[in-house]
Amino acid sequence: MADEPSEPILELRGINKSFGPVDVLKRVDFSAYPGQVTALVGDNGAGKSTLVKCVSGTYTIDSGEYLFEGRQVHVHNPRDASSLGIEIVYQDLALADNLDIVQNMFLGRERLKGIVLNESSMEQSAQETLASLSVRTVKSVRQRVSSLSGGQRQTVAIAKAVLWNSKLVVLDEPTAALGVAQTAQVLDLVRRLADRGVAVVLISHNMNEVLQVADRIAVLYLGETAAQVARSEVNQQQLVELITTGGLGTDRPGATNGVPA
């Protein structure tokens, strides 16, 4: 999969972000490729969520270059990001419990027939999207989200990204609250998403998970890019060392910056 990477769809160069006196991101480089799962790892407080919020437009970057599909773009709010085709699946998922799956997937982008909601068209598309992702765990798309399990909710949130033909999907710790079986299902879904040509960024603290599903791995250490490597370049031990110390003894793979071998 990682053999012939195309151009990165997202490329961040030298991103700085500070909150008052606190420099949270320092000259961060990061790229994500279509059809690949890029894991974004780092210890608590390393700046992963902050970086994602810069990508999504929740925060604006202080300085640095934000390139999307090779062009420099200015993302000032979440709407800018979603119009570029960037979808963020936050850990709290932001689904309305009182609405059903279809209603949630189309929230804010409802299809109309005149002034009336076109329910059957939305329902069909939602079903097709779930089917195309081979989702088999959801009984009915007219189920309320409140009746879904954590893994199913994650599934709905991811399917929403697919429905909108997003080019880049960022998942912030999608498996943090899930059991073994549901984690496997979500990772499976993440893989399928990438296989469809979507660039997937996966934030996770689980090393096994990262090594299992990622094509590329980016490590943040205290707000700096410690490494951007292909999955094949590191083993678990090296990855843990990168996360905890920001380097690898003598030789820093961060030098290979962005281009998988």
Partner 1 sequence: MTTPESPTTPREPDVQTDAANERAIVASTAPVEGGTTDYLRNYVRRLRGGDMGSLPGVTGLIVLAIVFSLAHPQFHTIFNFGNMFTEGTATIFIAMGLVFVLLLGEIDLAAGYTAGVASAVMIRLMVGYNWSWWGTIPAALVTGLLIGFIVGWLVSKVRIPSFVVTLSFFLAFQGVMIYIVQNGKGQKGDIRITDRVVNAFANEQMPKWAGWFVAALVVAGYAAVKLLAALARRRQGLAAEPIGVNASKIAVLAVISFFIVYLLNQNRAPNKNPVAQNVNGKIVFVKPSIEGVPWVVPVLLVLFVAGTFVLSRTRYGRHVYAVGGNEEAARRAGIAVDRIRISVFVLSGFMSAVGGIMIASNVQSVSVANYGGNTLLLAVGAAVIGGTSLFGGRGRLIDAVIGGAVVEVIQNGTANLVNGQNSSAVQFIAVGLALLLAAAVDALSRRRAGSTGMG
Ligand X SMILES: Nc1ncnc2c1ncn2[C@@H]1O[C@H](COP(=O)(O)OP(=O)(O)OP(=O)(O)O)[C@@H](O)[C@H]1O
Partner in contact with 125, chosen from ligand X, partner 1, Mg ion, none, beta carbon below 5 to 8 Å by kind: none
Q: Does 182 bind partner 1 (CB under 8 A)?
A: yes
Which C-beta is closer to ligand X: that of 49 or that of 125?
Answer: 49
Among 67, 138, 176, 207, binds partner 1 (CB under 8 A): 138
| Shortest Cβ 23–ligand X spacing (Å) | 9
Say whether residue 176 binds partner 1 (CB under 8 A).
no
Which residues are CB-neighbours of 237 under 8 A, at least 6 positions away?
none
Q: Does 130 bind partner 1 (CB under 8 A)?
A: yes
Binder of residue 151, out of partner 1, ligand X, Mg ion, none (CB less than 5 to 8 A by kind): partner 1
Here the tokens at position 24 are 């949270």
| Distance of closest approach, residue 120 Cβ to ligand X, in angstroms | 41
By DSSP bridging, strand 86-89 and strand 168-172 are: parallel
CB 29 within 8 A of CB 225: yes
Q: Does 91 bind Mg ion (CB under 5 A)?
A: no
Q: Which of 16, 149, 206, 238 lies at the binding interface for partner 1 (CB under 8 A)?
A: 149
User: Looking at 59-67, 142-150, 234-242, 249-257, which segment touches partner 1 (CB under 8 A)?
Assistant: 142-150
94 binds partner 1 (CB under 8 A): yes
115 belongs to the binding site for partner 1 (CB under 8 A): yes
The residue (of 19 and 124) whose beta carbon lies closer to ligand X is 19
Q: Which stretch binds Mg ion (CB under 5 A): 4-12, 44-52, 220-228, 243-251?
A: 44-52
> Dihedral, CA atoms, 135, 138, 144, 145, nearest 10 degrees?
-60
What are the two backbone dihedrals, phi and then psi, of residue 203, each rounded to the nearest 5 degrees? -95, 130
- Tell which one of 18, 49, 137, 256 touches Mg ion (CB under 5 A): 49
**How many CB atoms within 10 Å of residue 113?**
10
By the rule CB under 8 A, 141 interacts with partner 1: yes
- Cα separation, 189 vs 130, in Å, equals 10
User: With CB cut-offs between 5 and 8 Å by kind, which of ligand X, Mg ion, partner 1, none does residue 19 bind?
Assistant: ligand X
Q: Which residues bind partner 1 (CB under 8 A)?
A: 78-79, 82, 92, 94-99, 103-104, 107-110, 112, 115-117, 120, 123-124, 127-128, 130-132, 134-142, 144, 146-152, 179-182, 184
